[in-house]
Amino acid sequence: MKKITLFISVFLMAWTVNVNAQLNNPKDANGNQIFKWDCASNQFATANNFEIDETIVFAVDVTGTPLEAWLAATAPTGQTRSIGFDFNTQWGGGGCDGRFIKIKGNIYGATLNFAQLITSRQNQVKLLNVGDAVTGGNAFTIGEIVNLNSNIFGFAFTATDPGADWWELPLQGASGATLTTAPYTGTKTSVAFYKTDTDDSNFFPGSFTDWMGYAAPCATIPTAVKNVFVSNSPVVAYEYYSILGDKLSIKPVSGMFIQKSIREDGTSSTIKVFKQLK
């Protein structure tokens, strides 16, 4: 009985130390941890001033946490250790998980576009509360702030298995990554991209080809900016899409959406529309 009690006590002590360990990310003037990485200066940015559909590099510094020692320890043969994440928002639980790789030292991260990744990663659109056009309050409502919370944990991969080891020493709750986005304006929406659109030679094995908004840290993301030609041919039809590219059956009565004008000569053009709920 004493042995069992001792084991439970040691386990709870280890769990408490792990949960209470804080990431070593720098803080802004308000005491909030900064997770946005500045690739130009190769250091953390001065603020988390990004919107939910804006592509950024997200990074965590595990210095001083149990993960630091775990990463430095010898891994089983064939395994490479790194850091994983599992995001949730104020509209739902976890499910948007993925993998970070080392940027430098004990800092790990990835190029992320949260709106794209949440939408494509197991179709976790509930984390954006998409489709609530009546009451509003989804991630793409003008002025909306999204609360992003993540469990940060260790994992290991091999040449053939991207998750050979998973969920080691998780930093949960306030110990993990907790931040808020900038209020949504709809003016910083980034071009959609997939892992395979970038040089991913130093990223993880496994396909992940259906994950949007996910690439190696500081990867060069295609801008897809092209010369625009608008025909004078008359418009014969309209199509409507969400800002994430999903085709809509009817024209939205409110919110932000894409309107595609189809012309008689077969050409088309698109514009971004925002309609306030009356």
Rounded to whole angstroms, how far apart are CA atoms 115 and 86? Answer: 14
Rounded to whole angstroms, how far apart are CA atoms 110 and 112? Answer: 6
- Give residue 3's pLDDT band: very low, low, confident or very high (50, 70, 90): very low
Q: Say whether pTM exceeds 0.85.
A: no
Per-residue b or e along 170-193, where b marks 16 or more CB atoms closer than 10 Å to that residue's CB: bbeeebbbebebeebeeeebbebb
Structure confidence by residue, pLDDT tens digits, 123-151: 678 888 876 555 556 898 889 999 999 99
pLDDT computed for residue 155 by the predictor: 94
pLDDT computed for residue 15 by the predictor: 38
- Give residue 251's pLDDT band: very low, low, confident or very high (50, 70, 90): confident
Rounded to whole angstroms, how far apart are CA atoms 209 and 207? Answer: 5
- Give residue 2's pLDDT band: very low, low, confident or very high (50, 70, 90): very low
pLDDT computed for residue 206 by the predictor: 61
Q: What are the structure tokens assigned to 160, written together?
A: 């053939």
**HEC per residue, the chain:** CHHHHHHHHHHHHHHHHHHHCCCCCCECCCCCECCEEECCCCEECCCCCCCCCCCEEEEEECCCCHHHHHHHCCCCCCCEEEEEEEEEECCEEEEEEEEEEEEECCEEEEEECHHHHHHHCCCCHHHHCCCCCCCCCCCCCCCCCCEEEEEEEEEEECCCCCCCEEEEEEECHHHCEEEECCCCCCCCCCCCCEHHHCCCCCCCCCCCCCCECEECCCCCCCCCCCCCCCCCCCEEEEEEECCCCCEECCCCCCEEEEEEEEECCCCEEEEEEEECCC
Residue 14 has pLDDT above 60, yes or no: no
Going by DSSP bridges, is the β-strand pair 37-38/255-263 parallel, antiparallel, or unpaired? Answer: unpaired
Span 85-110, mean pLDDT?
91
Give the rounded percent of residues in the chain with a pLDDT score beyond 70: 79
Residue of 19 and 101 predicted with greater confidence: 101
Q: Is the separation of the CB atoms in 43 and 118 below 8 Å?
A: no
Residue 80 has pLDDT above 90, yes or no: yes
- Give residue 16's pLDDT band: very low, low, confident or very high (50, 70, 90): very low
pLDDT computed for residue 5 by the predictor: 44
Span 42-49, mean pLDDT?
96
Q: Is the separation of the CB atoms in 56 and 92 below 8 Å?
A: no
- Give residue 53's pLDDT band: very low, low, confident or very high (50, 70, 90): very high
- Give residue 268's pLDDT band: very low, low, confident or very high (50, 70, 90): confident
246: left (phi over 0), alpha (psi -120 to 50) or beta: beta
Span 151-176, mean pLDDT?
91
Structure confidence by residue, pLDDT tens digits, 184-233: 998 898 888 887 787 776 676 566 777 889 999 999 887 654 444 556 77
Rounded to whole angstroms, how far apart are CA atoms 156 and 169? Answer: 12
Residue of 255 and 104 predicted with greater confidence: 104
pLDDT computed for residue 85 by the predictor: 94
